Amino acid sequence: MVFALATASFSFADDEAAVLQSININTATVEQIADVLVGVGPSKAQAIVDYREEFGAFGSLDEVEQVKGIGKKTLDKNKEKISF
């Protein structure tokens, strides 16, 4: 019998992303939001920052849901990663 071992290597383009497990949605950059939140890429992250700049700091997850493209499912996946 022959057994093959599979190995995987992981790398982070930004060492900070490896450390960040949660973010303050009111102070995080577009890059940090996109790196940390599941299902949020650069365009949705930019929408979060744009909304925050226009309407002020978020106070709850319900307010984050007001951002176009961010729905309940996305917030449910990320609620443990978002602080205010």
> What is the predicted pLDDT for the residue at 20?
54
Taking residues 19-43, report their average pLDDT. 94
> What is the predicted pLDDT for the residue at 1?
54
> 15-83 has which CATH code?
1.10.150.280
Q: Tell me the two tokens of residue 43.
A: 């365009």
Spatial CA neighbour of 53 closest among 67, 65, 40, 32: 67
Q: Is the pLDDT of residue 15 over 90?
A: no
Provide the whole-model pTM: 0.75
Q: Is the pLDDT of residue 27 over 50?
A: yes
Domain ranges of the chain: 15-83
Give dist(CA 22, CA 36) in Å, integer: 7
